[in-house]
């Protein structure tokens, strides 16, 4: 075990007995710092937008003092989570993984919804963008992986439905043209009754746009590429957080939903989202 890893675990143990939970709408997000390293600059450059169609808006999960969100009970629909009064947050962590550059972006929601109306307190959604090299002037997209459900789907033993067990991430090696911020589609031809051909114009070639949707009965809200623009949130990278915030997230108990970029889960997340 490396000294750095051992120190991270020690900090997590130290703060685990002191981490305080506060109201979900009282957590102050981190302001986005000016990027300094190659990793930070790439993350800011490729930061995605989030478009909310269903469920809660994203909220910050932890503040600089290491105080964690208490989330919301899985009742009452979207009451209390349609607006983050102190601002939203997007979290990031990057690393080389099997010779590809992985940029993980994650959003926290105080309540997680499913198409069966079975909601839970706390929900994390995440995506991984895969690049060839972040140090290049124009890195190449190699793939994208979007979270579809909890890493370990809940087993329904008694009830009216059984949630389909599927991969935690939808994986693809190409991003659809409409998945980029600002892109517009124009119909140029008709292939069949329900199929058309399009020209795509405008838009970014680095910033993607993401939304949440239900894919099957009983599923949790899953990430998908959006066809309309969303909003950017302030990005805070793992290494830019305070020690207290990292330790709190490392030791946090968010129930069924796990922090995808914590020291315990980061490598597992990259493995589950590997699209090649």
Which pLDDT tens digits describe the chain residue by residue (276 residues)?
555 555 555 555 554 445 799 999 999 999 999 999 999 999 999 999 999 988 899 999 999 999 999 999 888 888 899 999 999 999 999 999 999 999 999 999 999 887 666 678 899 999 999 999 999 999 999 999 999 976 555 555 444 444 445 689 999 999 999 999 999 988 988 888 888 888 888 889 999 999 998 877 667 789 999 999 999 999 999 999 999 999 999 999 999 899 999 999 999 999 999 999
Q: What is the pLDDT of residue 162?
A: 47
Q: What is the pLDDT of residue 275?
A: 97
Quickly count: other Cβ atoms within 10 Å of residue 200's Cβ: 13
Beta strands (DSSP E) in the chain are 21-22, 49-51, 68-69, 90-97, 100-112, 120-131, 141-147, 169-172, 184-190, 196-201, 209-213, 222-225, 235-237
**pTM > 0.85: yes or no:** yes
State the SS3 of 20-70.
Answer: CEECHHHCCCCCCCCCCCHHHHHHHHCCCEEECCCCCCCECCECCCCCEEC
Separation between Cα atoms, residue 119 and residue 56, nearest integer Å = 11
């Amino acid at each position: 075990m490396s000294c750095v890893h051992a120190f991270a675990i020690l900090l997590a143990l130290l703060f685990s007995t002191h981490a305080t939970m506060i109201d979900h709408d009282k957590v102050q997000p981190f302001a986005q710092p000016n990027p300094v390293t190659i990793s930070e600059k790439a993350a800011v450059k490729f930061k995605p937008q989030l478009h909310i169609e269903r469920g809660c808006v994203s909220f910050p999960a932890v503040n600089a003092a290491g105080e964690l969100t208490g989330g919301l009970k899985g009742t009452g629909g979207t009451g209390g989570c349609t607006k983050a009064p102190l601002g939203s947050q997007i979290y990031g962590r990057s690393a080389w993984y099997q010779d590809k550059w992985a940029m993980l972006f994650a959003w926290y929601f105080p309540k997680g919804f499913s198409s069966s109306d079975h909601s839970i307190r706390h929900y994390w959604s995440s995506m991984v963008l895969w690049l060839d090299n972040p140090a290049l002037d124009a890195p190449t997209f190699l793939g994208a992986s979007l979270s579809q459900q909890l890493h370990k789907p809940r087993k329904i033993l008694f009830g009216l439905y059984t949630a389909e067990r599927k991969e935690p991430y939808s994986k693809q090696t190409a991003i659809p043209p409409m998945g980029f911020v600002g892109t517009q589609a124009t119909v140029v031809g008709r292939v069949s009754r329900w199929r058309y051909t399009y020209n795509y114009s405008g838009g970014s070639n680095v910033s993607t746009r993401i939304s949440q949707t239900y894919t099957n009965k009983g599923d949790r809200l899953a990430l998908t590429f959006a066809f309309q623009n969303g909003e950017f949130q302030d990005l805070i990278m793992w290494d830019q957080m305070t020690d207290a915030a990292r330790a709190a997230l490392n030791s946090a108990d968010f129930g069924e939903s796990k922090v995808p970029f914590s020291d315990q889960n980061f490598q597992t997340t990259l493995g589950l989202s590997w699209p090649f």
